């Protein structure tokens, strides 16, 4: 994995957590600054360390201020879709999940991180992660059925 892809993954992760473009950019930049200050080089297996730094910075941001809600339209991070009503339904279903469940689904399915990386970043076992993924998927399916 190259540095640009890693930067993009950390940005998406931070944006997902803080729901603010500017703050997510700041957290991403600070993550890489701290990472390079500590290690000096970038290797593929260092993603777990990057996620740990980003997660801690997001937690610090939550402690500092309450997160702002995303604007409904015109956001830079908003993705174009042919079915905007489906996008809204999925977004609402995801919002009803716990923060931990949303985080796990983001790491696994949006950022396509390996199970080992997620386990180390969150400090849980593989078995616990598989159980959490399954529960999060079931809860998301339930939320989507309720919205139909």
pLDDT per position as a tens digit, 46-67: 788 888 899 999 888 878 865 4
In this prediction, residue 49 carries a pLDDT of 86
Rounded distance, CA 146 to CA 148, Å? 6
pLDDT at 77 over 50: no
Write out the DSSP string of 31-64: HHHHHHHHT-S--GGGHHHHHHHHHHHHHHHHHH
Q: 81 burial class (0-12, 13-18, 19+ CB within 10 angstroms)?
A: exposed
Answer whether 1-78 and 82-148 agree in fold.
no
Percent of the chain with pLDDT over 70: 80
pTM strictly above 0.75:
no
Fold for the domain defined by 1-78: Rna Polymerase Sigma Factor; Chain: A (1.10.1740)
User: What pLDDT, on the 0 to 100 scale, is given for residue 54?
Assistant: 92
CATH of domain 82-148: 1.10.10.10
Give the side-chain half-sphere CA count within 13 A for 29. 6
- Over 70: is that where the pLDDT of 12 sits? yes
Q: Where are the domains of the chain?
A: 1-78, 82-148
For residue 117, give the nearest of 107, 127, 132, 109 by alpha carbon.
107
Please report the pLDDT score of residue 30 as a whole number.
93
pLDDT for 62 equals: 79
According to the model, what pLDDT value does residue 144 have?
A: 85
Tell which phi-psi region holds residue 142, choosing left (phi > 0), alpha (psi between -120 and 50) or beta: alpha
Mean pLDDT, all residues of the chain: 81
CA angle 29, 34, 40 (to 5 degrees): 110
């Amino acid at each position: 994995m190259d540095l640009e892809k890693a930067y993009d993954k950390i940005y998406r992760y931070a944006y997902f957590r803080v729901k603010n473009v500017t703050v997510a950019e700041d957290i991403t930049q600070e993550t890489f600054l701290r990472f390079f200050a500590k290690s000096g080089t970038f290797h593929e297996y260092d993603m777990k360390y990057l996620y740990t730094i980003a997660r801690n910075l997001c937690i610090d941001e939550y402690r500092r201020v309450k997160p702002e809600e995303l604007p409904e339209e015109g956001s830079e991070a908003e993705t174009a879709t042919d079915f905007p009503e489906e996008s809204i339904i999925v977004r609402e279903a995801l919002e009803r999940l716990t923060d931990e469940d949303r985080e796990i689904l983001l790491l696994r399915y949006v950022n396509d991180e390996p199970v080992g990386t997620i386990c180390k970043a969150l400090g849980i076992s593989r078995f616990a992660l598989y159980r959490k993924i399954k529960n999060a998927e079931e809860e998301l399916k339930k939320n989507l059925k309720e919205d139909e």
